[in-house]
Amino acid sequence: MDLQAIKQAAATYGPAMTKFLREIVAFPGESAEEKEHVERIEKEMKDLGFDEVEVDPMGNILGYMGTGKTLIAFDAHIDTVGIGNRDNCNFELNKEIFLQFYFLSPRLSTVLQYVY
């Protein structure tokens, strides 16, 4: 396995992945209200050629690729922390700055989402 070749190939996905993640974080998606997140992820999985993509009755998105005796699962939350009452916020946070913080620090972004 050529690790350098893998790194070079992965780097080519950077712009598309950044666009995808920016679109995801632009949608509101508090717990039980992630429909737009699920729909965007579903589109991305289909565009990437997943063999099967399904949304279960609980709203979870499941994607399958390949076959074989080994299953590799990736599990993640797609909901976000609610922003609360905007009237309690005494400043306006620029969306572009928020997105930069989001990519730099997911923990910090959770705090910013709360106050934004």
Question: Is the full-model pTM beyond 0.95?
Answer: no
Series of mean pLDDT values for 10-residue runs along the chain (116 residues): 86 86 81 88 93 91 90 81 65 59 50 44
Rounded distance, CA 20 to CA 94, Å?
Answer: 20
In this structure, the chain runs to a length of 116
- 3-class SS at 27? coil
What confidence score (pLDDT) does residue 110 get? Answer: 46
Residue 100's nearest CA partner among 15, 30, 27, 21 is: 21
Mention every residue, 6+ apart, whose C-beta is less than 8 A from residue 76: none
